[in-house]
Amino acid sequence: MSAEEEPAEGRSPLAGACVLVVLAGVLVAVAFAIDEAVGVLLVVVAGAVALWRTARRMSDSSATPPPEEGRPSCRECAGHELLSVTPSRSQKGMLIYTTFSPDRPNHTHVHIAKTSTERTP
């Protein structure tokens, strides 16, 4: 079986990445062979482009969601001031509401609620 007859699913994506790395290395070597300043400039520009592309791809998935309209209430957090709303890292779909009472300044109340309409006391 020749290389042309090889099925596409048998090829490794890692092989393509290795080829790109080798080509990039050759390009950098040629740039440094032309002039050291050109090589340094090429590496700096390539790093800046990679950083810019990475920053543009970042999503807002890690941003804290806005508090829901009907924030959870229980007997303890009635009349408390909302400090923060944080998504739970261990339980998907849960929000952690942190409040404090003006009557008890050294006490923080934590309330965990589902993001859907169902609430947990």
DSSP assignment, residue 102?
A: T
DSSP string, 78-98: TTPEEEEEEE-SSSTTEEEEE
Cα gap 45→30, rounded to integer Å: 16
Sheet containing 94-101, strands listed edge to edge, beginning at the edge strand earlier in sequence = 81-87, 94-101, 104-114
β-strand pairing of 104-114 with 81-87: unpaired
How many other β-carbons are positioned within 10 Å of the β-carbon of residue 80? Answer: 21
Look at residue 118 in the predicted model and tell me its pLDDT: 45
Between 61 and 21, residue with greater pLDDT = 21
What is the rounded distance in angstroms from the CA atom of residue 36 to the CA atom of residue 58?
34
Note the pLDDT of residue 119. 45
Structure-block tokens of residue 76: 């303890």
pLDDT digits (tens, 9 = 90+) for 51-106: 988 887 775 555 555 545 556 666 666 677 777 888 888 877 788 888 877 777 77
Q: Is the pTM of this model over 0.85?
A: no
- Mean pLDDT comparison of 1-10, 81-90, 110-119, highest-scoring range: 81-90
Question: Average pLDDT, stretch 25-45?
Answer: 94
Using 50, 70 and 90 to split pLDDT, how confident is the model at 10?
low
Q: Which helix (H) or strand (E) holds 106?
A: strand 104-114
